Each structure stands twice: as C-alpha cells, then as structure tokens.
C-alpha cells in the first residue's frame, strides 16, 4: 500500500449506508468510512484511498491478485473462507469456498461439480480454454486451486522453480482411462488404434 501511495479498497458499488457514490461521485457509507480510517492510520491522510467497485464474483480474485489491499464489501467471515486464504490444506475436503482454475469443456469440469455437490461444498470455477492458461492463472494467484489429471498436476508442479510450495492433494475424484480416439464407424481402424490389431 505504501508503494502505491494509498489504500486500494474493494467495495460494493451500490450498497446504501455502506458503500455508494453520491451525486458528486464521492463514496459514502460505513464501509467507505472504514477504508478512509485505514488510510488515515497508515498514511495520516484519510483521502489516500482509491475505491474499487467489485461484484461478489470478482471480490476474492481482486484481493488475491493484489488489485485491492483490503476488501470492505459485505462479505461474511467464515471458517472456510479464513482457511481458504491461509490455504495449507491437506485434503480436498477442506476446499469449501475455494476458487478453482479449470480447463473448460473437460470431464474435469464435470467431475469437480459432482465432487463438490456430493460433499455439500461450494466453489467458484474460473474457466480457461487451455490447460496451460488455467495452470498459469493458478500460479499467478488468480485461483486457490488448479485441477486436472493427476499426471499433469505432478508434471506441472515439477517444472516450477519451487515445487514444494505446491501440493497435489491425495483425493482421486474420478478414475477414467486415457485412450486414443478415431472417427466413429471405422471399427477396423479403432482396433488398430487401441489394440494394435488389424
């Protein structure tokens, strides 16, 4: 915050009494005043604050990526969210409320949905077209967790400069054989491709 010269404060854009710009564009309300109080405590100047309006979907990503230094936006403080920010989890059962990077259109996307639903847990999916984009988003701090095939997880982890900073959780939430595919209707080619038979 000191490098930026002010407090970047994440707020709700339209929450009367808590955070809302008036007709002059000045932020008013309890949350806005709290942000000013933080600025006054850190900089000795309550005006050294920049208000960043965030949706519920954006708020935690903005906090984790450093877009905002503090979140004062009608957000409940729960044990799952508290543990999420100090992640250090040992099991996927501890991921309630986590933000998860996922490659879109994969069975992984469906498997995660099923796993969290069956364990009555919530999560926020952040979808990417390519697996390496999803992985990079995780390593950049846009997500708490990255999910894909276990073999890929270990491979990507091993390529990091500090692999021990990342853990592959023990749960296997889906067991699916990897297999080559061929065009439908060519049974002979299918046998060759899958079994080496002609």
- Domain spans of the chain? 7-71, 79-165
CB 11 within 8 A of CB 63: no
CATH class of the 79-165 domain in this structure: alpha beta
Query: What confidence tens digit (pLDDT) does each residue in 118-142 have?
Result: 999 999 999 999 988 999 999 888 8
Res. 23 pLDDT band, cuts 50 70 90: very high
| Residue 104 vs residues 5, 17, 65, 93, 107: alpha-carbon distances, Å | 39, 39, 22, 23, 9
Q: Do domains 7-71 and 79-165 have the same CATH topology?
A: yes
pLDDT above 50 (res 43): yes
CATH class of the 7-71 domain in this structure: alpha beta
Task: Please state, for a pLDDT cut of 90, what percent of the chain lies above it.
Answer: 34
Query: What confidence tens digit (pLDDT) does each residue in 137-162 have?
Result: 998 888 999 999 888 898 888 888 88
* CA 177 to centroid of chain Cα atoms: 28
CB 114 within 8 A of CB 68: no
pTM flag (> 0.85): no
pLDDT of residue 65: 76
């Amino acid at each position: 915050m000191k490098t930026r010269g002010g407090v970047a404060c994440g707020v709700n854009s339209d929450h009367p009494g808590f955070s809302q710009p008036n007709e002059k564009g000045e932020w008013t309300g309890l949350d806005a005043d709290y942000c000013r109080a933080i600025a006054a405590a850190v900089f000795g100047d309550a005006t050294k604050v920049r208000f960043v309006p965030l949706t519920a979907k954006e708020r935690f990503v903005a906090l984790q990526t450093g877009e905002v230094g503090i979140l004062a936006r009608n957000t409940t403080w729960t044990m799952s969210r508290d543990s999420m920010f100090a992640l250090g989890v040992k099991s996927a059962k501890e991921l309630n409320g986590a933000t998860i990077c996922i490659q879109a259109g994969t069975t992984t996307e469906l498997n995660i949905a099923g796993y969290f639903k069956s364990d009555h847990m919530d999560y926020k999916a952040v979808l990417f077209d390519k697996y390496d984009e999803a992985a990079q988003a995780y390593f950049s701090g846009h997500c708490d967790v990255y999910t894909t095939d276990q073999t890929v997880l270990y491979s990507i982890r091993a390529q990091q400069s500090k692999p021990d900073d990342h853990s592959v959780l023990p749960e296997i939430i889906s067991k699916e054989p990897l297999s080559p595919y061929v065009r439908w209707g060519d049974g002979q080619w299918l046998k060759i491709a899958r079994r080496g038979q002609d």
